[in-house]
Chains A and B, each alone.
Chain A
């Protein structure tokens, strides 16, 4: 009795283990699994914007749509250039529902050398910019994902169109392709942190100098904002500015390393964050300074988008150009640029203190009564959340030559100002000298930044990228410090920015039912055949 019950127990436990094992087996693999990047989801002053959902489990549909197609339970797959914005706008304005939207971006954005591509290039940039503008400022209740178009997707689209052309839209009863993204519910990013990295190059205090040396600050914001946070690499806005700052730091650290060539100005380098959000980070950074340090800043040069210009650079100021300080700085820049064969123009934009919109970084300095200017290739101030490193701003939209030119303009004029070389006609940072600007350094840092998405709320305090910037700045400057602060409450961000899309080819329910019917009849036929042959016929044979 006991033996049989113990064997029964063993059997039962073995069965239980087997069942658990079977249940753990992962369900089958898909025809294709692709990385997809979600449209940003954020609240601006309480108003929900961006894509508000993340998981997808819908049948795929493609343009052109068959007549009477109900898209509220389909995922629309559309290449960027095939997606008419009017159609999308209509859907958003009329609050019509889509199951999901998958936008396919071309793999390589542009080839600057190919003249033939220029038309397509411009069209692409325009389409992307418009799409980004539309999606960023609307509340989209369904998931919107971006993916790169490749052969798999081309085949998928062709197949979907073939199925659709047979007259039936994809649904549970007709089979087709199913897109599945299993993503957790997007959660708020609790306290988005902005990290400002600063470094000093202390100047040479003479024997009799008792007061603080004046400081010249060079600032650039390194973070980005775009429609797809995982794709916002912002090469031009503002990767170019950050790279230029690093190169200027490197050049001046060589000069300042020798006490004989150390200038009588301190140099402060600041890589700030929170740029797209009205330069909130710069504000917090300046606020963190001691008032005396702030007052010792002679002027600040802010670099913003300096990666794709040829002949004209713009200097944006908030003080009137007649101001003697501004005039002197502008003359320095003009002299150097004339020698280089390019021009620097000056643009004046008054600050409206009551308007919270801060279009240029120098305006934050001006609010603290520090003379400042912004150097940029843009001639007019960018709109809110524009030119902040969106989808189009990839490695190809910035080039090392423009950044090299910017570095030359800034560093030469700075050197002339610090060392009092006005009027003397020679280059401090001449080519083939030990102080030559290093284009390979610029290129390798630009490459790195173009591979790193840098949307501030998704960069943790201990992110390896921030550590890398800190380390690089420590190589060139002293007293490197990372000042972290929380982004102001106007913005709230949500996570779940990247996911895996599985594409399954599914058979319709009718197919399964049909198969069941065929199978049933086969088994019945087999049964009758066997009964007849073995019981009805064999018996006479056996009786022979």
Chain B
């Protein structure tokens, strides 16, 4: 029963990534190399973030929401964006279209994020006899994270890879990208200050990720049309 539960939660956490890869044309164009490179860039980014967090953040004495610490965390979160920039622009990819590039990078990025943050707790916790909803929520969060990373990658490719964008849309693109980049801080604020319970937070994440995905899709197709 317990290994069964572990396998279920693992499927929930990592399944969508695999499904995404196989369902979309990414598999046809064999973009696995891009995904792997993006995953490696994510690992490097995570390392840099860790070092910065260790250097600049104080250990919190209590669980209160400290605005200065959170601001610092947001700035460190921008390292993520820098990493994505690096992965999208600086790496040499095989000849794949812009469309597929951002998807492959986003997928690799999200997969590495899930593995790094969620595989170990899953392995240790979900195999025990004790049943909690925790790992199911974690899987749902991984799903939301995938969608958000894809949206961020899409907006990133719009910002950095596309030269001619309609003037009116530019501020919206930047605003949405900012919102996506600060999403982790927003959820931690909800969890700690407003003391939302985990189901509510996960619901919020899912809803907001779908909303942001829809908006980015519209922006992307709008830019696509004007090309």
Contact = CB atoms under 8 A, between A and B. Distances in A.
Contacts of A30: 128-130
Contacts of A504: 128-131
A31 interface: yes
Contact of A180 (B11, B125, B126, B129): B129
A28 B19 contact: no
Interface stretch (B20-28, B55-63, B179-187): B20-28
Interface in B1-20: 1-2, 4-5, 8, 11-12, 15-16, 19-20
Contacts of A27: 2, 127-129
Interface in B52-92: none
Interface in A22-45: 22, 25-31
Contact of B16 (A28, A29, A178, A523): A523
Contacts of A528: 23
A534 B8 contact: no
Contacts of A85: none
Interface stretch (A293-301, A399-407, A507-515): A507-515
Interface string A424-463: 0000000000000000000000000000000000000000
A110 B173 CA distance: 73
Contacts of A523: 11, 15-16, 19
B19 A527 contact: yes
B124 A506 contact: no
A527 B23 contact: yes
B8 A535 contact: no
Contact of A534 (B23, B125, B128): B23
Nearest to A542: B99
B196 interface: no
B225 interface: yes
Nearest to A516: B8
A360 to B, nearest CB: 52
A531 interface: yes
A144 B19 CA distance: 52
Given A30-B129, A519-B11, A526-B16, A25 B123 contact: yes
B130 A506 contact: yes
B27 to A, nearest CB: 11
Nearest to A509: B1
Contact of A29 (B2, B20, B99, B130): B130
B198 interface: no
Given A25-B123, A29-B128, A506-B130, A527 B22 contact: yes
A28 B8 contact: no
A126 to B, nearest CB: 38
A26 B124 CA distance: 7
A527 B11 CA distance: 14
A505 B23 contact: no
Interface string A249-268: 00000000000000000000
B193 interface: no
B218 interface: no
A22 B24 CA distance: 34
Interface in B98-146: 99, 123-131, 136
B129 A506 contact: yes
B188 to A, nearest CB: 25
Contacts of B126: 28
A487 B19 CA distance: 71
A529 B23 CA distance: 9
B224 A28 contact: no
Contacts of B124: 25-26, 28
A530 interface: yes
B1 A512 contact: yes
A178 B129 contact: yes
Given A30-B129, A512-B8, A515-B8, A526 B19 contact: yes
A100 B23 CA distance: 53
A542 B126 CA distance: 44
B24 A505 contact: no
Contacts of A535: 24-25
Contacts of A25: 123-124
A3 interface: no
A535 B28 CA distance: 11
Nearest to B26: A534
Contacts of B130: 28-31, 504-506
Given A27-B129, A534-B24, A22 B123 contact: yes
A28 B123 CA distance: 10
A151 B187 CA distance: 34
A178 B124 CA distance: 20
A544 interface: yes
B73 to A, nearest CB: 29
Contact of B1 (A180, A507, A519): A507
A67 interface: no
Interface in B23-57: 23-25
A530 B24 contact: yes
Given A25-B124, A542-B99, A505 B19 contact: no
A93 interface: no
A541 interface: yes
Contacts of A526: 16, 19-20, 23
Given A505-B130, A505-B131, A509-B1, A530 B8 contact: no
Contacts of B224: 541, 544
B131 A519 contact: no
B113 to A, nearest CB: 18
Contacts of B4: 509, 512, 516
A366 to B, nearest CB: 59
Interface string A184-221: 00000000000000000000000000000000000000
A531 B127 contact: no
B221 A531 contact: no
Nearest to A26: B124
Contact of A530 (B1, B15, B19): B19
10 shortest interchain CB distances as A-B pairs: A28-B128, A530-B23, A504-B129, A507-B131, A534-B24, A27-B128, A504-B130, A527-B23, A531-B23, A512-B4
24 contacts: A22-B123, A25-B124, A28-B130, A175-B131, A504-B128, A504-B130, A506-B130, A506-B131, A507-B5, A507-B131, A512-B8, A519-B8, A519-B11, A519-B12, A519-B15, A526-B19, A527-B23, A529-B23, A538-B25, A538-B99, A541-B224, A542-B99, A544-B224, A544-B225
Interface of B: 1-2, 4-5, 8, 11-12, 15-16, 19-20, 22-25, 99, 123-131, 136, 221, 224-225
Given A505-B131, A509-B4, A523-B16, 13 more contacts: A28-B125, A28-B130, A30-B130, A175-B131, A504-B128, A504-B129, A506-B130, A507-B5, A523-B11, A526-B20, A530-B23, A531-B23, A534-B24
